[in-house]
Amino acid sequence: MSDRLSVFKTYKLYVGGKFPRSESGRVYEVQDSKGNWLANAPLSSRKDARDAVVAARKAFGGWSGATAYNRGQVLYRVAEMLEGRRDQFVREVADAEGLSKSKAAAVVDATIDRWVWYAGWTDKIAQVIGGANPVAGPYFNLSSPEPTGVVAVLAPQESSFLGLVSVVAPVIATGNTAIVVASEKAPLPALSLGEVLATSDVPGGVVNVLSGRTAEIAAPLAAHQDVNAIDLAGADDVLAKELEIAAADNLKRVLRPQPVDYFETPGIERMTAFLETKTVWHPTGSLGASGSSY
């Protein structure tokens, strides 16, 4: 046994494809389930939240404009990166949630599989929920889903990795960009996910990860005029109501907190909640008896 001193990791935010510290210079102590010090995580400020919105907006055009096939490839690449870091995440999830190594391994495996599941959805959701409308007139009429824009995601507090991925992946699979507020108590797996995203092919700004006090970071996001939607999964009832009221100011799409068993295969609700339906009409002309009226 050598007495080599291990190298600690300085956990940083992930915003716009970069790893800044909080502009506030603040950190807070993250502990494992037994109260041992794990790391100092950045304590994000309102300014960090606003910077993340700017980064997410900047990334929206490119990400939403990418082909669905391309987005699927990029998401699958993330799963590849996650698989490669499986051991790291098993350790982090075990520490974060106080799980045995085997239980943490099951969580990480489910998380990676969840990511793969959503990678496969990118080029199917439009076929499943869009389509042709048989209108009573000579019109070509098609409804297709489009991403709603910049989505603030309050990650679940308890499920630091499986829950996190279960709320982030559906948002970006459909072409939205995200600002994710990590679990307040257990933010480290989320911050490490940022490192995975940075080394995959996800463009900078598509996912932005903030750590700190959920209520403090969520307030400016819910009130932000350039945020289009908010997933309140990680808010308690009192906070969720406050944020929903703030979100009404620019009519953000709101997904309220719900009891979810993250181990179950999800439905499509987390995708459809952040999609808009666009219906396009065009005259078709019609064939007359002579066949010449178009």
Among the listed ranges 22-30, 36-44, 190-198, 233-241, the one in contact with other proteins (CB under 8 A) is 233-241
CB of 248 to other proteins, least distance (A): 4
Query: Residue 280 interacts with other proteins (CB under 8 A)?
Result: yes
CB of 28 to other proteins, least distance (A): 28
Query: Residue 281 interacts with other proteins (CB under 8 A)?
Result: yes
Query: Residue 286 interacts with other proteins (CB under 8 A)?
Result: no
CB of 30 to other proteins, least distance (A): 29
Task: State which of residues 69, 87, 241, 287 lies at the interface with other proteins (CB under 8 A).
Answer: 241
Query: Residue 277 interacts with other proteins (CB under 8 A)?
Result: yes
Query: Residue 259 interacts with other proteins (CB under 8 A)?
Result: yes
CB of 142 to other proteins, least distance (A): 9
Task: State which of residues 31, 70, 73, 143 lies at the interface with other proteins (CB under 8 A).
Answer: 143
Task: State which of residues 135, 199, 236, 287 lies at the interface with other proteins (CB under 8 A).
Answer: 135
Among the listed ranges 4-12, 20-28, 108-116, 273-281, the one in contact with other proteins (CB under 8 A) is 273-281
Task: State which of residues 4, 34, 35, 261 lies at the interface with other proteins (CB under 8 A).
Answer: 261
Ordered DSSP codes for the chain: ---PPPPPP----BBTTB-PPPTT--EEEEE-TTS-EEEEEE---HHHHHHHHHHHHHHHHHHHHS-HHHHHHHHHHHHHHHHHTHHHHHHHHHHHHT--HHHHHHHHHHHHHHHHHHHTTTTTHHHHH-EE---SSSEEEEEEEEE-SEEEEE--SS-TTHHHHHHHHHHHHTT-EEEEE--SS--HHHHHHHHHHHTTTPPTTSEEEE-S-HHHHHHHHHH-TT--EEE-TT--HHHHHHHHHHHGGGT-EEE------TTSPP-SHHHHTTEEEEEEEEE-----TTS---
CB of 146 to other proteins, least distance (A): 8
